[in-house]
Amino acid sequence: MEPFSKFNHDPLQNIIAKTNNLPTDILANHVKCILLEHLRIFTLFLFFSIETFLSLQKECKPIFHFLPLSCVLLFFALKYFLSKPQPVYLVDFSCLEPPNYCRVPFSSFIEHVSTMDIFDEKSVAFMTKILLASGLGEQTYLPPALHYIPPRTYQNESLKEVRMVLFPVMDDLLSKTKLSPQDIDILIVNCSGFCPSPSLSSIIINKYSMRNDIKSFNLSGMGCSAGALGIDLAQSLFKTHKNSYAIVLSTEILSTGWYSGNERPKLLLNCVFRMGSAAILLTNRKEEKKRSKYRLLKTARTQRAFDDKAYLSAMREEDSDGKTGVTLNRDLLRVAGEVLHSNITIISSSILPYTEMIRHGFSIIWKKFFDKSSNFYTPNFKSAIQHFCLPTSGKPVVREIGKGLKLSERDMEAALMTLHRFGNQSSSSLWYELAYMEAKERVKKGDKVWQLGMGTGPKCTSLVWVCNRPILGEFRKGPWANTIGHYPVPEINGHI
């Protein structure tokens, strides 16, 4: 029995709801802007009029000039607080724990690809080497379509996978937050490689019979950073949609992403990408502050698609035999470093203490004008951030980013253990990392969490959250409920 059955409402009620909600919000915002502008003009006019009058009075005491000045300062203070955007809260989120029959141990994966006629011996040896060095463990998952020989990469199989990964997390999120599908005002679904028609967002709306005035968005081709990008999009929509709920669904459909050729740059994704999905409930309702887990503090988005080398560093294309796959070329790590650097530069100016920014700025000046052999000072991000969710593109990438940010093993633990337990789940990996920290009960009230999403394009999106309340008991539920006691696992001979 489904937790939420389909709702059959009178169409007239939906039309009334649409009329009562959306136009009223837009009209209220418009009236508010007009009133603030007229008030600003009137205040300035009044100020200059009073000042002119007082200046003409020969016996006017200086104290009388303080009154109009106070009015002006009071006005601009009121304007700041009235125009200040509403806070964005993360009420709760859910992550998928795939069924056990989808589990793919190393031996099964290697035997599977060895049995296929499409891969030659060199390709099998290459995938085995990548798999062993990737940081993945023995309990990652692949969808049922990829357990067949040969894999079933048809449209219907991909749609089955959509229902398998999105419906359970949607059900769980609605159940945990005690909301009805009819309560949702904004729906954002992201999946990079699979873009059916009707869209994934339409599939969700149809399944849960959501309102006819819901604002739905479908993000495709945005890579592993799309989940964080969806949060940034929701934040922007909240500026014009007051007192709203938004759900962001993040996943990657692997059935269409399997590469069945022998070009090595395209074989990497077969080895490290695994099943996963996440559902996140956001709101800007003030009454949800107490029960919300986090408040969104800052977002930053950067990209380098304007640069040809960066643009071509990761691309979905056909090989010489007409088989489609994603090519990852040698420039990828360099490009990732460039887009990461530009994103960190932006986000650091708003989260780092002034002392760290001054030390960094001084090191730049010193290197440029005094000692060109000196190194730039890397700011201590742990002075402002307590927890880090890093891209799970592979163990070497996690460690390289951690090294650049001067993070400890404990800071990188969530990313490395997520990679080991679930593999690279593309855009949803960041939420498995946060779920890991919650299951370990490490996130305390007032702590800041930095989620860093990187994807093809190339693009990078940062989210900084502040914990809104104590988070306890998460080890009993969620994707880590049955395994959190076994983590972290030790690292042996350079491999996890």
Peptide bond connecting 265 to the previous residue in cis, omega within 30 degrees of 0: no
pLDDT for res 31? 53
Tell whether the torsion through CA atoms of 125, 322, 305 and 365 is positive or negative: positive
Burial of 416 (0-12, 13-18, 19+ CB in 10 A): buried
Global pTM value: 0.82
State the average pLDDT over residues 324-334: 83
Tell whether the torsion through CA atoms of 358, 360, 365 and 366 is positive or negative: positive
d(CA 345, CA 361): 11
Query: Considering only 178-187, 236-245, 353-362, which range has the smallest mean pLDDT?
Result: 353-362
Residues 6+ apart with CB under 8 A from 452: 228, 340, 343, 388, 389, 390, 391, 401, 430, 460, 461, 462
- Confidence label for 66 from pLDDT (cuts 50, 70 and 90): low
pLDDT for res 25? 43
Per-residue pLDDT tens digits for 410-454: 999 999 999 999 999 999 999 999 999 999 999 999 999 999 998
pLDDT for res 356? 78
Share of the chain above pLDDT 90, in %: 53
pLDDT for res 14? 37
CB contact at 8 A, 404 and 348: no
Q: How far is CA 9 from the centre of its chain?
A: 34
pLDDT for res 79? 56
State the average pLDDT over residues 351-367: 78
Name the more confident of 348 and 299.
299
pLDDT for 19 beyond 60: no
pLDDT for res 413? 96
Residues 6+ apart with CB under 8 A from 432: 95, 276, 278, 418, 421, 422, 425, 479
d(CA 104, CA 112): 10
- Confidence label for 17 from pLDDT (cuts 50, 70 and 90): very low
- Confidence label for 332 from pLDDT (cuts 50, 70 and 90): confident
Residue with tokens 């600003």: 40
State the average pLDDT over residues 141-154: 93
d(CA 230, CA 101): 31
State the average pLDDT over residues 451-469: 92
pLDDT for res 5? 36
Residues 6+ apart with CB under 8 A from 414: 387, 388, 389, 390, 433, 434, 436, 437
- Nearest C-alpha neighbor of 250 from the set 469, 94, 142: 94
The secondary element (H helix, E strand) that includes residue 450 is strand 448-455
State the average pLDDT over residues 472-476: 90
Residue 394, token pair as written in the block = 């592979």
Per-residue pLDDT tens digits for 73-126: 665 665 555 556 689 999 999 999 999 999 999 999 999 999 988 999 999 999
pLDDT for 6 beyond 50: no
State the average pLDDT over residues 315-330: 87
d(CA 496, CA 494): 7
pLDDT for res 32? 54
Name the more confident of 41 and 370.
370
Share of the chain above pLDDT 70, in %: 81
On whether the 89-486 domain is CATH 3.20.20.60, my answer is no
Name the more confident of 354 and 151.
151
pLDDT for 65 beyond 90: no
State the average pLDDT over residues 377-403: 88
d(CA 432, CA 8): 35
State the average pLDDT over residues 460-479: 93
pLDDT for res 121? 92
pLDDT for 29 beyond 60: no
Helix (H, G, I), strand (E, B) or coil at 298: strand
Query: Considering only 8-17, 62-71, 90-99, 423-432, which range has the smallest mean pLDDT?
Result: 8-17
Task: Enter the DSSP assignment of 287.
Answer: G
Burial of 420 (0-12, 13-18, 19+ CB in 10 A): buried
Domain ranges of the chain: 11-83, 89-486
pLDDT for res 43? 65
| CA angle (200, 314, 137) in 5-degree steps | 75
